Amino acid sequence: MSRPTKILAWLIAAFVAIFALGAVFLLLFFDANDFREEIASAVTKETGRALEIDGDVSIALFPWLAIEVGHTTLGNAPGFGDKPFAEFDRAKLSIRLLPMLLRREIAVGTAELETLKLNLQSDTKGRTNWDDLTADKGATDGETGGAAGQRFEVSGVDVTNTTITYDDRESGDTYVLSEMNMQLGALSASGQPVPAKGRFRFDVQPDAISGDAEIDTELSFDLSNGVVVFDGLAVEGTVEGIASSPTPMRFATDRIEVQTVNELVTMQPLDVRLLGIDIKADVEPFSYQAEVRPKAAIQMDAFSPRSLMHLLDVEAPETADPGALSRVIVDADAALKKNSIELSNVVIKLDDTTFKGALSVPRGSSSSYGFDLSADRINLDRYMAPVDASTQGSGGSGGAGESVPTEIPADLIRSLQGRGKLLVATAQLSGMEFENVVLGVNATNGRLRMHPVTADLFGGSYSGDVRIDATGATPVLSVDENIEGVDLVDLARAMFNKENITGTIEGGFKLTGRGADMVAIQRSLAGNMSFVLSDGTYEGTDIWYELRRARALLKGGEAPTPELPAQTKFSSVSATGVVNNGVMRNEDLFAELPYMQLSGRGDVDLAAATVNYDLTARVLERPESLQGVTADELDEFTEAVIPLKITGPISSPSVKPDIGKLVRGRIEEKIKDRFLDRLLRKKEQAPADDEPQDEATVDGEPEAEAVQEEPTEEEPAEEDLEDQLKDKLKGLFD
């Protein structure tokens, strides 16, 4: 060994010996706990916050310079309460001493942190309790570039049983990460990727959403530029509170880059799976300097609403079409706002219908839903309750059976807060096809109003104002609806599956009812109604033929030959009425036919869809349209008031002469004729004043034994006359 080498070896040995002696001296005579107050004062001076070290402080010197601190708390910022900003039970940090002294290399061992509790807060003005810690105080001389040329390595980071709470006083939301355990691999200034993994539990209030998750990624640090990169980030776990049972969730992206200097986040497209729905999101770069307000273009792959309802513990409605509510696809641009999630450029494909427009989804109870949508075509009958097969062929309207009573969704209305507008090019409901539908919706505090509601309907128009008040125990439905110029052929076909009337209808009704379903509401309806039918034909009944047939039978003549098809033309039919308990009472029905006028009164049972009317018919003086009518017939009909009866279902009522009134009228006419005839005969047989008295009189008075005048022919009794008339009318209405 050469002399210089020996000298160097001895110097190194001496240095090691001196360091060892110094370490022994420190261990024997130095207690780090003596410096707790100095450390606390230094932190307070630097941050303005109180630091309290309740646990022990220990130091190791060789071969690692290690410091371990027991329970410690750091005070909160002024104005954020007395709860500590941060506290932990144990923290340990170690640095290899010789590389730091000889080569200016910082080699840190595994940093350990146990039971950290971090309390993050923001007040109602948006200020946070960490603003003062992140404020730029400016760099002093010698601080910049001081680390140039230094090597930096950390063997790893081990964080156990950590809880991080974020309390947003402005929105009222609270986010908690608890039971967090994180492990990071070796870190270095070279920026090599660092494996990181961990698990934690999360809780979101007041939404009552919680769950467990595991995270796996690789971290890269560019300390010179203040950039942190997450590569291959994947978060998987379960979510509670959004479904009846914990549901799996996944969040993954190839890369997230955080620029700490600019406080900017950029990321690659996200893949999210939640509630069985696959979502892709292309997130725009966003700042976290103040409130986080990211924007993203989202795409939801096709999913089944029925399956989603099952996961949410919501009973899927039974629909007339079992295939309804089977497929939904959603595309939209989403923006996170202070109180809502705003969705623009929305395209929703529900089964065969495409909706486009904008949506607003509230983030808290203080906000409400909003929408402005348009749709191409929707068949609402597919989504209605199915027809009860047991009523098929039972004589209901159109023979189509009866639907299960439609319930009023009172609970939904009470909880719903929102308003918006929907435009539909074509909508089918109850067999009726509406076009150019405009629907306005406003729901608040248990009250739902649909106004305006307008549409083109069968060549005419519809307008309405519908309100449901669910603030009480029993919902109340109020409607104010009008139709104008609607084609009766299409309307009858749609409502009753009949094609027995032509013309147009206009009318309106203001009605109010209460009940848990539409059947109960129909039975309690009250209000008023009116309608006018114009320039049409009622198929199936020829009123003129029925009148001529009745006359022929009464007269004992031959019935006329019917003209087929049987029909009755009308110029107008009008009526107004008052509704009570679901029945309209009409006192002023008036109809104009080409050859007669009808008037009368009756009832319309709205719940049972039946009519019962008593009418009178008057034939006009000069009915130009009548053909094949004898002079005697015309004379009798123009002089008579003929009773008619309209009964049966609204879809196909029976219109016939009133047999009871006809019989009574004929009897009254016969009695009247007989009375007049007897009166005239007695007058003719009375003696003149100058003629002698009959032998059978005494002093001008007939004797008791006088022979009474005998009738020239036997006159029938009134009961016999009625029976004869009934026999003649027998079969009139067969």
Flag whether the pTM goes above 0.85.
no
In the predicted structure, residue 464 carries a pLDDT above the cut 90: yes
* Contact between 545 and 563 (Cβ < 8 Å): yes
Q: Is residue 251 predicted with pLDDT exceeding 90?
A: yes
Reported confidence tier of residue 280, pLDDT bands at 50, 70, 90: very high
323 with 193, same domain: the answer is: no
Distance CA(731)–CA(552), nearest Å, equals 12
Backbone angles phi, psi at 309, to 5 degrees: -60, -40
CA dihedral sign, ordered 514, 515, 517, 519? negative
Within a domain: 280: no
Q: Indicate whether 183 and 330 sit together in one domain.
A: no
Most confident by average pLDDT, 55-59, 224-228, 340-344, 709-713: 340-344
Full residue range of the structural domain in which residue 55 is found = 19-131+150-207
- β-bridge pairing 697-698 and 654-657: unpaired
In sequence order, the β-bridge partners of residue 619 are 596
Phi and psi torsions of 410, nearest 5°? -60, -45
Closest CA to 642 of 625, 627, 656: 656
CA distances for 132 relative to 53, 78, 164, 167, 174, angstroms: 21, 10, 19, 17, 22
Which of 117-126, 163-172, 694-703 shows the lowest per-residue confidence on average (mean pLDDT)?
A: 694-703
Burial class (CB in 10 A: 0-12, 13-18, 19+), 216: middle
**Residue 596 included in any domain:** no
Least confident window among 11-15, 253-257, 348-352? 11-15
pLDDT in tens, 577-605: 999 999 999 999 999 998 889 999 999 99
Do 193 and 321 sit in the same domain of this protein? no
Identity (one letter) of the amino acid at 153? E
| Residue 710 to residue 353: CA distance in whole angstroms | 90
201 within domain boundaries: yes
Going through 351-393 in order, the beta strands assigned E by DSSP cover 353-362, 369-379, 387-388
On whether residue 167 sits in a domain, the answer given is yes
pLDDT value of position 534: 97
User: Is 153 within 8 Å of 317 (Cβ atoms)?
Assistant: no
Grade residue 373 by pLDDT with cuts at 50, 70 and 90: very high
Please check whether residues 189 and 323 belong to one and the same domain.
Answer: no
Q: What is the pLDDT of residues 662-708, one digit of tens each?
A: 656 555 565 665 666 666 665 555 555 555 554 444 444 444 443 44
Mean pLDDT along residues 170-186 = 87
Kind plus residue range of the DSSP H or E element containing 332: strand 328-336
Residue at 403 is within a domain: yes
Average pLDDT over the chain, rounded to an integer: 81
Q: Tell me how many domains the chain contains.
A: 3
Q: Based on the fold, state whether residues 53 and 173 are members of the same structural domain.
A: yes
Q: Decide if 484 contacts 455 (C-beta within 8 A).
A: no
- Give the dihedral sign, CA 47/52/55/60: positive
Does some domain include residue 237?
Answer: no
Which tokens go with 510?
């203001």
- Asked if the structure places residue 239 within a domain, the reply is no
Of the three residues 465, 490, 516, the one that is the final residue of a domain is: 465
Domain boundary among 465, 483, 499: 465
pLDDT tens for residues 563-577? 888 999 999 999 999
The continuous run of DSSP H or E covering 45 comes out as helix 36-47
> 3-class SS at 99?
helix
- SS3 for 689? coil
Confirm whether 157 is domain-assigned.
yes
The pLDDT assigned to 628 comes to: 66
Task: Name the residue with higher pLDDT: 396 or 644.
Answer: 644
| Domain stop point among 207, 240, 273 | 207
